[in-house]
Amino acid sequence: MGEVSNKSLATLLVVAIVVSLGGTFISLNRLSSLGRVPLITGFQTTGEVNVSITEVTTISAPEAIIWFGEGTVAAGTDAELWSNGTKINWNNASSWMPDPAYTGEGSENKSEDFIVIENTGNVHLNISVYTEKNASEYLCDNLAGPTFVACDTVAEYKYWSLENETGSCDSDHVEGTVGSPTSFIGNGTQPRQQVCGSLRSAAENDTVRLYVYLKIPEEVTGSKTDTLTFNSAKSGAQD
């Protein structure tokens, strides 16, 4: 095979350049007719990114223990126990709080005790509570006759809620106060009783407290148990 002359190489180069430019011109011309863009320009198009954020209404109870301990009502009186620390006419055989037999969550010594509900979701939540028992059903359950009547007249089972962090729950939307707690109605699931009308979801202010107040007549004896059910639903206020 003979050597290719410089003239031939130059001719091939010119042909290659012409073919390349011509092809580019034709391609862009066709693309422009599709996208209605000016001739000889880079081609681009627009796109959409759709993201749907799932709404989550999760709650947790990092402080789920209120422990009043064991004790007796002072003779001739009715005892009052406030879970924020006040006890009246109450002779406690064991420590005030917490349960001495329990060493887990909430077992540390403290002057008050309360339940904490945390909004771990991503929307503001309406937090409500309900219980099967009212004061009489909770405290006088094992009594009968005149003793029951005496207990039923005096017994009280109440709660109040409070922001656990500043701004976590609009103050108008908490329930009761330490000076005026709200009675548990009992009756199971209905009606729900408000804890926080709009518990915020931001991590820095997403918790609410619930305290309990008991008035225990002298007639009361035995172990007392109850279950509080805390319910979450998306709040109407999301600002």
Partner 1 sequence: MKGYLRYVIITLFLLSVIPAVSAIGLAARSMWVKMDYVPNLEFTQTYQIITTSDYTQDYTLYVTGGLGQYITIEPDQFKDIVPGSDPYFTVSLKLPEGLDKEVSPGIHQIRIGVKETVSSSGGKGIGLLTSSEAIIDVRFLYPGKYLTAKLNVKDVEVNKPANFKINVYNGGKEDINSVRAKIEVYDSNGNKVAMAYTEEKSLKSNAEDTLHAQLSTEGLKSGEYKAVATVYYDMKELKTNEAKFKIGSLEIWIIDYTKEVPAGKINPFDIEIESRWNNQIQNVYAIVTIGRRTFQTPSTNIAPWEKKTITGYFDATNMGVGEYDAEIILYFGDNTAKELGKVTITKPEEVMLMPVITPTTTLLVIIIILLVIADIIYLVYSKKHKTYKEELEMLKMQMKTKQRKGK
- Which candidate, 157, 175, 182, places its Cα nearest to that of 117? 175
Cα–Cα nearest to 89, from 72, 67, 68, 65? 72
Least Å distance between CB 47 and partner 1?
22
Tell the smallest beta-carbon distance from residue 139 to partner 1 (Å). Answer: 9
Cα–Cα dist 236/60, whole Å: 20
CB of 42 to partner 1, least distance (A): 38
Question: Residue 38 carries which DSSP code?
Answer: -
Shortest Å distance, C-beta 81 to partner 1: 7
Burial (0-12, 13-18, 19+ Cβ within 10 Å), 83? buried
Q: Are 66 and 83 in contact (CB under 8 A)?
A: yes
Given the complex with partner 1, which of 168 and 201 has the nearer CB atom? Answer: 201
Please, what is the minimum distance in Å from the beta carbon of residue 107 to partner 1? 9
Nearer to partner 1 by C-beta: 32 or 152? 152
CA angle 24, 25, 26 (to 5 degrees): 95
Residues that bind partner 1 in the complex, under the rule CB under 8 A: 52, 54-62, 64-73, 75, 81, 93, 99, 101-102, 104-105, 115, 120-121, 123, 147, 189, 212, 214, 216, 218-234, 236
